[in-house]
Amino acid sequence: MPFYHTLGQIPHKRHTQFRKPDGGLYAEQLFSTEGFSSDSSLLYHVYAPTDILQVGEPYSVSPEVAEEKMLKHRSFQGFRVAPEKDYLTSRKAVLVNNDVHVVLAAPQAGTADYYFKNADADEVIFVHKGSGVLQTPYGSLTFGYGDYLVIPRGTIYQIRFDGPDNRLFIVESFSPIRFPKKYLSPFGQLLEHSPYCERDIRAPKDLETHSEKGDFLMLIKKQGQLYTFHYGHHPFDVIGWDGCCYPFAFSIHDFEPITGRVHQPPPVHLTFEARNFVICSFVPRLFDYHPESIPAPYNHSNIDSDELLYYVDGDFMSRKNVTRGQITLHPGGIPHGPHPGSVEKSIGARETKELAVMVDTFHPLKLTKTALEIEDPAYITSWLDRHPV
């Protein structure tokens, strides 16, 4: 999905001899998506990437589904997910289907003692709280509040945090994460009407080539199982690479809002798309400028999709009692809209400071045991006038 990029040393032509200072060959690896039919990168390793010492017994990390079918509006307090020291064990799936898993995490530490690879899904990690660095064979990405970290499936990484107070909203996609087609030229350039451009995409930098040998633990997630692999060399042994498939960062603060004379529909917030779902960014923006406009969103029916909204910061003109880290889920089949009094209150307002991430899925989401543990059961009646403001 990203544009062509290269770091380090690479040969003049692909699939040709590329030798080390001692005369040996670097090991070339094609990292490709959808077989050989889509984006790919070529990486050149000091050692063969097949240098496996042993493989341990896998164990299940599949989400525990508590409600497979339901039809009512739900709300979940994301910051009720308790912090845990380890990055992987802190990740708690809350809403899932066959296309996407929505995960909350509050890790106090990163992955200093192991390396991780998600062989099932692309990951989009939204950083709500905290900062640090994502380290990969492609180089490093520093991150902070408001960053999306987009990690293609199969990418080996370590994540390090600057402190213990971290909150992540993670989307695991079982199809490739893409830039929306409507933003792209026939040749893949982001067009002038796109709310972001190539300048906003941060590619890895500071490539470090490690040649250490030993016993390096890698945890690999595949089909809901976590496998323990022991490699005989450091996983970040890449001397150079080039291509169009690599992890990158994009800040929600660099998303340029699209506004109009009257209220604009949610697709104007579209940021990424995948098979059967989209990710949108709601950012601070000016309200509609028609003299009789109503800034608050109108009531609407989700006939074909479940709408999930993760509240990050700011004031939300259409909702009452919104808290940071809250998730609302409005399932397909019943209408939802602004809370009582919100429509009149929004008239005359010039702007909103809201910040949120939305995931719209075109197949129903299932609730996990974790979701029920952090649910606000009163949300379904929050549209009644007697509900407290």
Q: Who wins on pLDDT, 60 or 339?
A: 60
**pLDDT at position 321, please?**
72
SS3 content of the chain, % helix, strand, coil (to 5): 10, 40, 50
pLDDT at position 320 is 64
**6-28 residue pLDDT tens:** 999 999 999 999 999 999 999 99
Exposed/middle/buried for residue 171 (C-beta within 10 Å: 0-12, 13-18, 19+): buried
Is pLDDT at 386 greater than 70 in this prediction? no
Rounded to whole angstroms, the Cα distance separating 20 from 6 reads 19
Domain boundaries, the chain: 51-63+81-237+246-252, 255-381
- For 235-294, the pLDDT digits (tens) are 999 999 999 999 999 999 999 998 888 988 888 999 999 999 999 999 999 888 888 888
Q: Kindly report the pTM of this predicted structure.
A: 0.95
Matching CATH topology for 51-63+81-237+246-252 and 255-381? yes
Rounded CA Rg of the chain = 22
Beta-carbon neighbour count of residue 149 at 10 Å? 21
* CA 203 – CA 2 distance, rounded (Å): 9
Where is average pLDDT lowest: 125-134, 317-326, 355-364? 317-326
What is the residue whose two structure tokens read 């022991």?
A: 230
Instruction: Provide DSSP, 45-72.
Output: ESS-TT-EEEE---EE----EEESS--S
Enumerate residues 6+ apart whose C-beta is below 8 A from 153: 118, 119, 120, 121, 122, 123, 176
- Local confidence band at 1 (pLDDT 50, 70, 90 cut-offs): low
Model pLDDT for residues 147-202, shown as the tens digit of each residue: 999 999 999 999 999 999 999 999 999 999 999 999 999 999 999 999 999 999 99
Q: SS3 of 342, please? A: helix
Does domain 255-381 sit in CATH 3.30.2130.30?
no
The CATH homologous superfamily for domain 51-63+81-237+246-252 is Jelly Rolls (2.60.120.10)
Strand 115-118 versus strand 213-222 pairing type: parallel
Which residues, including other chains, have CB under 8 Å from residue 186's CB and lie 6 or more apart? Answer: none
